[in-house]
Structure 1
Amino acid sequence: MKQRLKRWIFRLLRKDPEAVVVTFATGDAELCRRMHEEVRRLVPDRRHFFVTADNWPEMRRQLKSYRIGLAPVLLTREPCALRRAAFRLAPRKILAYNSRLERHHLRCDLPSFLFWRGVPLDRIYLRPWWWPWPKRERSVVPAGFRAPAGFRTMDGRACSQERRRVAVLSPYFPYPLSHGGAVRIYNLLREIAREFDVELFAFTDSDSEPDSAPLLEFCARLVLVQKPRYREPRWSTLLPPEVHEFRSPAMRQAIAAERSAFGFEILQVEYTQLAEYGADVLVEHDVTFDLFTQVAHRTPTLAARWDAFRWRRFETRQARRYRRVVVMSKKDAELLGPAVETAVIENGVDLARFRPEPEEPGERLLFIGSFRHFPNVQAYRFFTEQVWPLLRDKFPRMTLTVVCGADHFAYWRAFSDSPEPRPDSRIRMLGFIADVRPLYRDANLVIVPTTVSAGTNVKVLEAMATERAVISTTSGCGGLGLLHGHSAWIADTPEAFAAGVATLIADPERRRQIARAAYLHAVRNYNWETIGEKLRDLLRSLL
């Protein structure tokens, strides 16, 4: 009866009673094509129309005789007249897609507003903090994969009755040394193992077994827990999303069990998002709220301000609980304030592994920055969109190699509006690279175009150790004591950065002088042996 009545009403309105699907091409052409294909798969039994800016005048007249049941649109930050037309035509039927091709039905509610503002679907937190009933989170297990129940352990170097025992908790397995965080954790584990029996707790997010042999040479025990995989949005309003990402009953169980079985006396927690697991030593690789505050200043959106607020709230509260908070620079210690007991233990470089190499003539630039860390995506966009156009025509032989890390396109789509970086025949993009030393050897100039940053940059130290000149923004080399024109070239605007690249590429002798001064600075201040001794002193003082 209801269907008959509906058909009768729509016939009176001179409309086809069968609902149609109208997809609006309101952004990148390739993304819109993929969006249209997905919608056709989702709703195969309906008639589909594809509307573009070119055919919209004709389609607007044609669609007057149809009832619109669904109107998919692509959300971007750029204003779009066709998107406004879609909202006027079918305001309650909008199926919005973002650049990751996540979809959400837009309604007059908070999740729709957050999705509209660019918050990824799995980062939308809606439940008030006072809501008494927790929402249960369901893990996603890919087809054919069976995540280990609980945790699994591996024994390494034999323990000694003469050595005290400490444990380290990491959000990832710190080998291979594919990014700065892994480099620091691996080398300092090796250094503290000179005096202590060390147990490493680590999350793993790979379906394959990690290469544990290098760590088992000096760690007494490894404890691995599968990182949770979520299918539906997690709810909260006040906790940062990364904190939820690493909440794991299995890890809590592992730490409690090993505290008795292995008998560690101190738990050193790496990264702020894991701060809820301990209260002894917290290592702040970045002061995270400072990163998000910088982002909020550069792009003052509601979402950016909200992220900055909840990170500041969480990070400062957690830091006060710890007996000691390790930071990378004096600036980071000042950011946390006098209420937090801090110790500055800088990043370092393995001078035996990274050695000076003779430089071959050329105009080859190198940028190393995993896209997993969102400031590196912003750095890449700053250079390729604002600096590279100023250099490309002046230096026809200049090339750029970019090491983006594993799954870089997925992280690019998470932190950017476009589906993938714009192609350029002279820009070579590499994913995971196990050994970056040949890339440093081949480079003439290392660029660090970071626009927002905290902590200190391990990749700058590696470039210094291989005696390659670095051109960086102020934030990219902050905390390392480098001087402009002496041990680095520092520039913050696109024009100044391009001019610096041009100056150093055109003057090999100046480049070599800067590289040599930076190398000597690294030898004096940033070898892992000296830094490891600082960490051992800190652990001794807390035992």
Structure 2
Amino acid sequence: MFDPLLFAPADGHWPLRWLLIDVSTPRPDRDSGSLRSVNLMRLLRAEGHAVDFLPDDGVAAGHYAELLRGLGVTVHDARDRAPYPRWFERHLAGYDVLVLSRYHLAEFLLPLARRAAPDTRVVLDTVDLHHVRERREAEVRGDHRLQRLARATRKRELAAIAAADIAWVVSAAERELLAREAPDARVALLPNIVETLAGPGGFTAREGLLFVGGARHPPNVDAVAWLVAEIFPRVRTQLPDCTLHLVGDGLSQLSLLRAPGPGVVVHDHVPDLAPLLARCRVGLAPLRYGAGVKGKVNQYMAHGLAVVATTSAAEGAFLEHRRDVLLADDAASLADAVVEACTDAGLWQRLVDHGLHNTRRHFSFDTARRALADTLELLR
């Protein structure tokens, strides 16, 4: 049963019992949303909270579930749970906070939660605003059908946000958007959470380009197609020996990458990305549309790569052109920025230094800890 007194700080801690539900067990080596989820659970445990995780698909997925259990998280699966209404009726009142990831999960589960445990606080983790991403894709493609779908998603997503006690967004830009579109909703900023590498390799120890992004996310597929067809060939005319590494679950299955051209190496899924992050000089984020804060940008910066990105990819990450990142929005300008970052050691070092500072300031565990405290204050 929810007790408001638990939300008053005691010795700097709020020892609550949290239940997190996502569509599947997070796979932090495969997508940035999963990494954020795992790091959130790591933070909650470090703050002294009890944390349970329930995968909506009922599968406590192998070593990914063991990773969570190693953090002290209780992971439920199909073998020890009944269907939702009954499981909620039996167990949900024992949790102080329920976190539901993404609006389409929340719109189904939140009404069940309200009936089963009306005193349990419900947080909707938007991960990113889906309707914003869909609308931008429709604009890029000039697709009226996608525009209609984006409008439908907007209606559903805003309804889920309004129904929750708190909605988490990952960027100040999305918080400002919701202040206009859902002024009565309570919205809190919980950023991506990443760890910066101590002493990353310098300019001369690195070479080549890196793009990270799985093929199940449409903005990544669009970016890879643009990168391989229009951006990287321009880079190769100026840097004939340059190599582009493409990393992401399912990339090798894309028809456009069956013969990607000279200098392109398709790695598909890489369980341990650290060696490539330590070896490559420039991280690329040529996303033409999207929403939220891009985990690949955080990851590049945290590991000491200079970053070349579109303005869409840099949104919400507190980045300034030529201080933290090189920004461009057409193929020729992006290619020129890549060449400059690869060849100008002074510029490269400035971008890396500021990128590391940016990550520590805005996307660290300490920053997320303060954001979590803000959320608990709103839930009091």
TM-score range, shorter chain: 0.7 to 0.9
Q: TM-score by structure 2 length?
A: 0.85
Q: Which residue does 1:289 correspond to in 2?
A: 131
Cα distance, 1:201–1:252 mapped onto 2, change above 3 Å: farther
1:184 pairs, out of 33, 36, 40, with 36
Q: Which residue does 1:321 correspond to in 2?
A: 163
On the 8 A contact 1:348/1:458 being kept in 2, the answer is: no
Q: Deviations over 1:255-296 (max 9, x none)?
A: 443315xx1122111122211212711111111000111111
On the 8 A contact 2:125/2:167 being kept in 1, the answer is: yes
Cα distance, 1:176–1:521 mapped onto 2, change above 3 Å: closer
Distance in 2, Cα, partners of 1:220 & 1:285: 21
2:30 partner SS:
coil
Q: Unmatched 5+ residue regions in structure 2?
A: 1-13, 115-121
Cα distance, 1:211–1:502 mapped onto 2, change above 3 Å: closer
Deviation at 1:178, TM superposition (A): 2.3
Q: Deviations over 1:97-148 (max 9, x none)?
A: xxxxxxxxxxxxxxxxxxxxxxxxxxxxxxxxxxxxxxxxxxxxxxxxxxxx
Equivalent runs, 1:130-529 vs 2, <5 Å: 163-193=15-45, 194-204=47-57, 209-225=62-78, 250-260=83-93, 263-276=94-107, 277-278=109-110, 280-336=122-178, 337=181, 338-351=183-196, 356-360=200-204, 363-405=207-249, 407-409=250-252, 412=254, 418=255, 421-529=258-366
2:329 partner SS:
coil
Deviation at 1:181, TM superposition (A): 0.6
Cα distance, 1:393–1:419 mapped onto 2, change above 3 Å: closer
Report the structure number with the largest CA radius of gyration: 1
Q: Which residue does 1:69 correspond to in 2?
A: none
Q: Deviations over 1:218-246 (max 9, x none)?
A: 344211359xxxxxxxxxxxxxxxxxxxx
On the 8 A contact 2:361/2:367 being kept in 1, the answer is: no
* CA RMSD across the alignment: 2.5
On the 8 A contact 1:360/1:442 being kept in 2, the answer is: no
Distance in 2, Cα, partners of 1:380 & 1:166: 38
On the 8 A contact 1:504/1:511 being kept in 2, the answer is: yes
On the 8 A contact 1:359/1:441 being kept in 2, the answer is: no
- The amino acid across from 1:285 in the alignment is V
- The amino acid across from 2:19 in the alignment is A
Deviation at 1:431, TM superposition (A): 1.9
Displacement over 6 Å in runs of 4+: 205-208
- The amino acid across from 2:231 in the alignment is V
Distance in 2, Cα, partners of 1:420 & 1:402: 10
Q: Which residue does 1:54 correspond to in 2?
A: none
On the 8 A contact 1:173/1:210 being kept in 2, the answer is: no
Q: Unmatched 5+ residue regions in structure 1?
A: 1-161, 227-248, 413-417
Deviation at 1:440, TM superposition (A): 0.9
Question: When you count helix as a share of all residues, which structure comes out higher?
Answer: 2
Deviation at 1:462, TM superposition (A): 1.8
Number of equivalences: 351
Distance in 2, Cα, partners of 1:494 & 1:224: 46
Cα distance, 1:354–1:457 mapped onto 2, change above 3 Å: farther
On the 8 A contact 1:456/1:479 being kept in 2, the answer is: yes
- The amino acid across from 1:375 in the alignment is P
